[in-house]
Amino acid sequence: MEELENISKEFWASRDNDNWDYTKTFRNRFIRQKQFLYYFFVPHIHANHSVLDLGCSNGLCSSFVISPYCKYVEGIDISPKFINEANEYAQAHNINAHFKTYDLAKAIDFKQNVYDHGMALGLFTCIIDNQIFKKMVALFVAAIKPGGYIALKDSVGENERVHQHDNYAANYRLKSTYINAFINNNCELILERQLGLELTEDHIGSYFFILQKK
Ligand X SMILES: C[S@@+](CC[C@H](N)C(=O)[O-])C[C@H]1O[C@@H](n2cnc3c(N)ncnc32)[C@H](O)[C@@H]1O
Which residue, 10 or 186, is less far from ligand X as judged by CB? 10
Find, among 164, 62, 191, 177, the residue nearest to 120 by Cα: 62
Q: Shortest Cβ distance from residue 20 to ligand X (Å)?
A: 8
Which residue, 98 or 186, is less far from ligand X as judged by CB? 98
* Total count of residues recorded for the chain: 214
Which residue, 122 or 214, is less far from ligand X as judged by CB? 122
Residues at the interface with ligand X (CB under 6 A): 9, 12, 15, 22, 55-57, 61, 77-79, 82, 103-105, 121-123, 126
Q: Shortest Cβ distance from residue 170 to ligand X (Å)?
A: 9
Which residue, 105 or 156, is less far from ligand X as judged by CB? 105
Q: Shortest Cβ distance from residue 88 to ligand X (Å)?
A: 16
